Structure 1
Amino acid sequence: MRLRRLVLAAIPVLAALGGVPETAALAGPHGEMLGEEAVRLNLDPASGALTLDARLPAPQGDVALPRQDWLSVETLLIGGEPSPLPASGVIRAARHMGRSVTVRLSGTLPELSPGIEAAGRGETASYLLGSGWLPVDAAPRARFELSLEVPSGWRPAATGRLSDERVHPYGRRADFVFTGRAGDLGVFAGRYAVNEAMHRGLRLRTYFEPRDAAFSPAYIAAAAGYIDRYSDAIGPYPYDGFSVVSAPIPVGLGLPGMTYVSQAILGHGYMRGRSLAHEVLHSWWGNAVAVDYRRGNWSEGLTTYMADYALAEEAGAAEAREMRLGWLRDLAALPAAEDRPLTEFRAAAHGARQAVGYGKAAFLFHMLRAELGEEDWQAGLRRFYRERYDRVAAWHHLRAGFEAASGGDLRWFFDQWLTRSGLPALRIEAAEPEGRKLHLVVGQSAPFYRLRVPVTVETEAGTERHIVALDGARAEVTLALAARPRAVAVDPDFELARELAPGEVPPMLGDLFAGPDPALLALGEGAGAAAAALGPRLLHGAPRLVDAVAAEAAPVLVVLGSGAEVAAWRRAHLSAPAPWSMDAGRARAWVERDARGRLIGFLSADRTEDLLPELGGLRYQAGQSYAAFADGARVAAGDWPAGASGLRRRFD
Structure 2
Amino acid sequence: MSFFLVLFIVLGLLGNALGAKDPETLNRMARVTLNARFNPAQHLVTGEAQIELPPRKVVWIKTQGLTLKRVSLSGRLIEPAIENGRFRILATSAKQRLKIVFAARLKNAENLISRRAIVLTGTWFPAVEDLAYYDLRVRVPGRFRAVAPADVIKVKRTRKFAQYHFIFNHPQESPPLIAAPYHYYEKKVRGRTLAVYLLKPDKKLAQLYLKTIEKKLAHYEKLFGPYPYRRFAVVENVNQTGFAYPTLTLIGNRLLPLPFIREISLPHELLHNWFGCGVYPLWEEGNWSEGLVTYLADHAVFEKKKEGALYRHRLLTTYESYVRPENEFPLREFRY
TM-score when normalising by structure 2: 0.83
1:85 corresponds to which of 61, 79, 82: 79
Provide the aligned length of Structure 1 versus Structure 2: 311
| Distance across 2 between alignment mates of 1:300 and 1:91 | 30
1:31 corresponds to which of 6, 18, 24: 24
Pair 1:301-2:294 in alignment: no
Q: Deviations over 1:583-602 (max 9, x none)?
A: xxxxxxxxxxxxxxxxxxxx
8 Å Cα contact 2:61/2:128 also seen in 1 = no
Report the residue type matching 2:134 in the other structure: F
8 Å Cα contact 1:129/1:185 also seen in 2 = yes
- Unaligned runs of 5+ residues in structure 1 are 1-26, 349-652
SS where residue 243 of structure 2 aligns? strand
Report the residue type matching 2:214 in the other structure: A
After the TM superposition, which parts of structure 1 deviate over 6 Å for at least 4 consecutive aligned residues? none
Q: Deviations over 1:608-640 (max 9, x none)?
A: xxxxxxxxxxxxxxxxxxxxxxxxxxxxxxxxx
How far residue 239 of structure 1 moved from its aligned partner, in angstroms, is 1.0
| Distance across 2 between alignment mates of 1:239 and 1:257 | 7
Q: Deviations over 1:239-294 (max 9, x none)?
A: 11101111111210011111000011111111111010110011111111111233
8 Å Cα contact 1:79/1:101 also seen in 2 = yes
SS where residue 168 of structure 2 aligns? strand
The 3 A distance-change label for structure 1 pair 213 and 153 is farther
Pair 1:148-2:143 in alignment: no
The 3 A distance-change label for structure 1 pair 94 and 195 is closer
The aligned residue for residue 243 of structure 2 is 253
Q: Give % identity.
A: 25
| Distance across 1 between alignment mates of 2:177 and 2:226 | 25
SS where residue 206 of structure 1 aligns? strand
Rg (Cα) greater in structure = 1
2:120 corresponds to which of 99, 113, 128: 128
Mapping for residues 266-285 of structure 1, pairs under 5 Å: 266-285=256-275
The 3 A distance-change label for structure 1 pair 87 and 292 is closer
Pair 1:67-2:54 in alignment: no
8 Å Cα contact 1:255/1:283 also seen in 2 = yes
Pair 1:44-2:39 in alignment: yes
Report the residue type matching 2:63 in the other structure: R
Pair 1:107-2:99 in alignment: no
SS where residue 337 of structure 1 aligns? coil
The 3 A distance-change label for structure 1 pair 298 and 63 is closer
Mapping for residues 134-533 of structure 1, pairs under 5 Å: 134-136=125-127, 140-315=130-305, 317=306, 319-337=307-325, 340=328, 342-348=330-336
Q: Deviations over 1:395-431 (max 9, x none)?
A: xxxxxxxxxxxxxxxxxxxxxxxxxxxxxxxxxxxxx
Q: Deviations over 1:341-369 (max 9, x none)?
A: 65345122xxxxxxxxxxxxxxxxxxxxx
How far residue 322 of structure 1 moved from its aligned partner, in angstroms, is 1.9
How far residue 300 of structure 1 moved from its aligned partner, in angstroms, is 1.4
Q: Deviations over 1:134-161 (max 9, x none)?
A: 33457x4322111121011111110122
| Distance across 1 between alignment mates of 2:53 and 2:283 | 28
| Distance across 2 between alignment mates of 1:96 and 1:47 | 42
| Distance across 2 between alignment mates of 1:85 and 1:213 | 52
8 Å Cα contact 1:191/1:209 also seen in 2 = yes
Mapping for residues 637-652 of structure 1, pairs under 5 Å: none
Q: Deviations over 1:365-389 (max 9, x none)?
A: xxxxxxxxxxxxxxxxxxxxxxxxx
| Distance across 2 between alignment mates of 1:263 and 1:96 | 49
| RMSD over equivalenced CA pairs, Å | 2.6
The 3 A distance-change label for structure 1 pair 107 and 334 is closer
Report the residue type matching 2:89 in the other structure: R
SS where residue 289 of structure 1 aligns? coil
TM-score when normalising by structure 1: 0.45
SS where residue 336 of structure 1 aligns? coil
| Distance across 2 between alignment mates of 1:143 and 1:271 | 31
- Unaligned runs of 5+ residues in structure 2 are 1-19
The 3 A distance-change label for structure 1 pair 28 and 80 is farther
The 3 A distance-change label for structure 1 pair 96 and 38 is farther
